[in-house]
Structure 1
């Protein structure tokens, strides 16, 4: 790895740490109670934009137009929606039979903790963090994805309340980080596939009374999530080419063969 790659890798990692600690910084200055706009949905969206800003700005300063390529924003959202919905069908069926509907269902809470968290966490951790390391800076897959998983899982420890729940939270979110990263690069560096899956799986936690806010939820929840992973792996292996970085000598090969799913 060249000096330039090392310095850029450190800059990416530093920007992620800055975003990672954004809410702590905001709380330190007592800004968490400040309302940017009166509409709560727009206000929450703008705060998430601020949260992602250090990583997004750093990526565009370091990589220019390649940052847009690695973000996956320009890929087909319809394809991601179709794949995500297809993969999550068994999860929602299992939850519908196994758990009651959540009587305290809150649309705004779902907007914050399903849609926004699913989109912005994937944008930061899977695209501008893992995607930059693997796709642009040419890290090997496992070092890049394990670093990503470590930071991602640590950020979810607030959901735990004892040693066992902490272990389960780290284990489940680490598996999720590796899985989402693999899907992201296999589906032609598209944010939409992992983002839709991430959002729908978060939604299931709010739609049904599955768990007490932790990453656990019991055996049934693990079986349901395993079914989503199994379906997604099958579709991905069947319809996508092998994963590759998108820079360097393989640049000419960065566009994969036709996937067999057109939208």
Structure 2
């Protein structure tokens, strides 16, 4: 069988197994661990770790010689990822500090789940595995690699809305957010920590300030988020030009790459 066909069959099978394990068993595992430990935060982490096992197995089958931390792109500089994300999200932090009040009470377990655990695992699953593996190890371009993963990522956040308008806004915002995180991940030398910390800080500021009940937000909430996105793009492009590194994503590889990354 052709190697490319074998790769895609195994990759699709592996993600399908993960998807159904996550769909049918994530909440059960979470509930079991929570009842056992009394910790909602620990239960969330354990449920993710268990449901991610099929992804790890598939990566080792496809790339037996490569290390898992390399395949998930967490072997890069944590400090670089942190600094880029923190500086880039300063417009959100400062803007929210000026225009919004801090929430009156904080549930720290929920804060951990929404601002640390979810961003970390979602970036591993969607950006590193589902989108990153396709872009890094096949001839698929940026859009063709990011499309399905971003659509699925957006679909998973629809629970936050009720009306058609809210659902549409949430879907578009999370879809475009996924594409943006993917671009940052690729352009920072496949350093997933940049995307993880971006996701973390954006969620954190949204959680600790009284911005909005869901990701669709409001005028000022979205304005400062957009300013942060523009600053991050500027920082990434400036750093690459200063170091004379060509952009990873160009018009030539939006759909198909002329050569594998």
- Structure 2-normalised TM-score? 0.86
Change (3 A) 1:175 1:249: closer
For the residues of structure 2 that align with 1:172 and 1:249, how far apart are their CA atoms? 31
Measure the CA separation in 1 of the matches of 2:54 and 2:227.
Answer: 35
Structure-2 change in CA distance of 1:191 and 1:69 (3 Å): same
2:248 aligns with one of 239, 243, 246: 243
Unpaired runs of 5+ residues, structure 2, are none
Cα pair 1:172 1:215 within 8 Å, conserved: yes
* Residue 76 of structure 1: aligned partner: 77
**Preserved contact between residue 31 and residue 43 of structure 2 (Cα < 8 Å):** no
Large movers: runs of 4+ above 6 Å: 248-251
Shift of 1:114: 1.1
What is the CA-CA distance between 1:53 and the residue it aligns to?
2.1
Residues 77, 192 of structure 1: 8 Å contact kept: yes
Q: Which residue of 2 aligns with 1:143?
A: 144
Distance 1:70 1:105, change over 3 A: same
User: What runs of 5+ residues in structure 1 fail to find an aligned partner?
Assistant: 255-263
Question: Residue 160 of structure 1: CA displacement?
Answer: 1.2
Question: What is the distance in 2 between the residues matched to 1:197 and 1:125?
Answer: 15
Supply the distance in 1 between the matched residues of 2:93 and 2:105 (Cα, whole angstroms): 18
Q: Shift of residue 13 of structure 1?
A: 3.4
Aligned residues: 247
Q: Which residue of 1 aligns with 2:195?
A: 194
- The verdict on how the C-alpha distance between 1:70 and 1:138 changes in structure 2, with shifts beyond 3 A counting, is farther
CA RMSD of aligned residues (A): 2.4
CA deviations 1:183-221 (Å, max 9, x no partner) are 111111111001000011111121011111x21111111
Paired with 1:79 and 1:210, the residues of 2 have a C-alpha distance of 28
Give the 3 Å change call, closer, same or farther, for CA 95–21 of structure 1 in structure 2. farther
Distance 1:243 1:106, change over 3 A: same
1: CA distance between counterparts of 2:100 and 2:248? 37
Aligned match of 1:259: none
Rounded Cα–Cα distance in structure 1 between residues aligned with 2:12 and 2:224: 33
Match of 1:35 in 2: 33
Q: What is the SS of the residue equivalent to 2:103?
A: coil
1:71 shift after superposition: 1.4
2:231 counterpart residue number? 231
Distance in 2 of aligned mates of 1:98 and 1:54 = 44
1:88 Cα deviation after fit? 1.0
Give the Å deviation of 1:12: 2.5
Cα deviation digits, residues 120-151 of structure 1 (max 9, x gap):
00001001111110101221111111122111
- Counterpart of 1:48 in structure 2 is 48
Determine if the alignment matches structure 1 residue 113 to structure 2 residue 128: no
For residues 186 and 29 of structure 2, the distance between their equivalents in structure 1, rounded to whole angstroms, comes to 37
Distance 1:169 1:35, change over 3 A: same
**Alpha carbons of 1:57 and 1:211: their partners in 2 closer, same or farther (altered >3 Å)?**
same
* Separation in structure 2 between the aligned mates of residue 21 and residue 227 of structure 1, nearest angstrom: 37
Measure the CA separation in 1 of the matches of 2:190 and 2:202.
Answer: 20
Counterparts of residues 62-211 of structure 1 (less than 5 Å): 62-64=62-64, 65=66, 67-211=68-212
